[in-house]
Amino acid sequence: MDSATSDRAALQATADNGLKIVVVGGFGVGKTTMVRSVSEIRPLNTEETMTRAGEAVDDLDGVRSKTSTTVAFDFGRITLDARSVLYLFGAPGQERFWYLWDRLFSGTLGAVVLVDTRRLADSWYAIDRLEHHGTPFIVACNDFGGPLHTEQQIREALALSDDVPLVECDARDRSSSKYVLITLVEHLHALSRGTAGALSAAHPETAPVKTPEHTP
């Protein structure tokens, strides 16, 4: 029995609110591993065994030990409360599958850009596409035991603004992956509050009117 799901209670078949999150990043950064570690159901994945033919089109620098790869997407689920669930999609990392990303971004609340500090350049496309779509995101550095970089060095390498959260994680660890998702949800909540505040300031006539307290 799958140890990741055997000790969890049976899930409701339906939910009133389904919230979609996407995990993107370069080839071999740990997207499938993160979805697998945090999902409360047995994840759906589309991994296929890597072949010699793929070596001619996929950049294997730094991930020579990788034996399988996602060719469509990964899917997992996390219950938030009795009425809401989080649907988690992991995008394929190879350049030849990037055309799928725009479709995965449809209806997405936000995204996690998972990066390997040994291959930071692989994350540029993910960040570019998210910014193009106006999709909020955070960046999570997966621990592969590579060279240490300061937060400022990573921000400069990825051209990240200060308002984009940057966290460290171990995608193999469920609690660490949950922390990444919590950080994203908190970021989305802060952005929504900021947008609501800006709209109220721009249109004060729409702000709620306080009723004065009755004085006896």
Q: Which residues pair with 23 in a beta bridge?
A: 90, 112
Judged by average pLDDT, the poorest of 7-21, 89-103, 177-191 is 7-21
Q: Give pLDDT, residue 201.
A: 54
Judged by average pLDDT, the poorest of 3-7, 182-186, 212-216 is 3-7
Q: Which band of pLDDT confidence, cut at 50, 70 and 90, is reported for residue 28? A: confident
The CA distances from residue 160 to 12, 47, 67, 124, 165, in Å, are 39, 31, 32, 10, 9
Write the pLDDT tens digit of every residue in 132-152.
889 999 999 998 877 778 899
The CA distances from residue 177 to 15, 40, 105, 119, 140, in Å, are 23, 12, 20, 20, 9
Helix (H) or strand (E) holding 201: helix 174-202
Write the pLDDT tens digit of every residue in 101-121.
777 778 889 999 999 988 888
